[in-house]
Homo-oligomer: A and B are copies of this chain.
Amino acid sequence: MELSDIQSTIPDIRINLSRVGVRNVRKLVEVARVGKRPAIFISKFDIFVDLPGSLKGANLSRNFEVIDDVLQEAIGGEVKEIEEVCSRVARKLLDRHEYAERTEVRMESAYMVKRETPVTQTPCHEVVTVHARALAQRTSREPIIRKSIGAEVTGMTACPCAQNIMKDHAMMVLESLDMEKDKIEKFFKEVPMATHNQRGKGFLCIETDDDQHVPLEDVINVLKDSMSARIYELLKRGDESFVVMEAHKNPRFVEDCVRVMAKKVVGTFGHLPADARITIRQTNEESIHQHDAYAERHATLAELYAELNCE
């Protein structure tokens, strides 16, 4: 039986499509590492091509063949970094979908990171959500590829505004108990006052050309150091008091977190090209509200650099 191929016929309505493809394709991605066990990413992929108005359908099963090829290369050690996975897939898709001008691959992964707690150095794990994406555009020569790597990290934020009010209150009480000004000051230096604090989620994503290298570990570290305190899955008593103290010594609004990240991005990734696109987001799951507080910045590296140098 000769199977008819409806997809390659001309459709009744010849509208171009911006994206055609598959979503929520789940894969285990193993990236080989020299001298270590492979890094494992539990990933969900979205894979798209554009489709001209002259074709009824795209052949979606090709997407699976391409992604399986690249994942095999990753296990084999040919793909060196998680950020390479998407751009490899995007590039190969252009070969397999000869009618497409653009291909796009998005990946969202759960990734387990090993840590040590700050005081007792107890080893523990945390989950980071990794986001990667690549866009390939066909040209008369080599395709142009832009790729992004990003992460979402959970930390702790403490509110400076409520802390200030609590401090004003404590000062009044200490004054009424006849403590001297300079001792009060010494006290507040050693003992940060209470405030509401909560889980915060920082997100940072960096888009560059395909030949740039943006280490995932650096992205994660910028995020972890931009909230009021790092958090851990396992805290012994000494660790817990350290984390709570840290958070209260570094109270930050949702706006502050984004600005600290922006500054750290310029410090950490300053060697990247000026047109690198930076997206920063912070969501605080406010403990005093049911809703979340949110701040965001997107800009080129050059724009962030210029704003910082105006200060």
Contact = CB atoms under 8 A, between A and B. Distances in A.
A48 interface: yes
B154 A290 contact: yes
A256 B19 CA distance: 13
Given A11-B255, A56-B253, A254-B20, A156 B287 contact: yes
A271 interface: no
Contacts of A274: none
A17 to B, nearest CB: 5
A204 interface: no
B259 A307 contact: no
A289 B231 contact: yes
A20 B243 CA distance: 23
Contacts of A12: 259
A1 B168 contact: yes
Contacts of A232: 288-289
A196 B6 contact: no
B291 A233 contact: yes
A172 to B, nearest CB: 7
Given A11-B255, A168-B1, A195-B244, A6 B235 contact: no
Interface stretch (A25-33, A131-139, A142-150, A213-221): A25-33
A34 interface: no
Contacts of A293: 21-23, 60
B166 A241 contact: yes
A262 interface: yes
Nearest to A75: B37
Residue among A12, A172, A199, A307 with the highest chain B CB neighbour number at 10 A: A199
A294 B22 contact: yes
Contact of A307 (B15, B233, B244, B253): B15
Nearest to A177: B183
A292 B168 contact: no
A194 B244 contact: yes
Contact of A6 (B19, B160, B177): B160
A235 B65 CA distance: 11
23 contacts: A3-B241, A4-B168, A11-B256, A12-B259, A14-B259, A15-B297, A20-B296, A21-B293, A26-B290, A26-B291, A28-B125, A40-B40, A56-B255, A57-B161, A65-B234, A126-B290, A154-B290, A156-B287, A192-B194, A196-B243, A233-B289, A233-B291, A235-B289
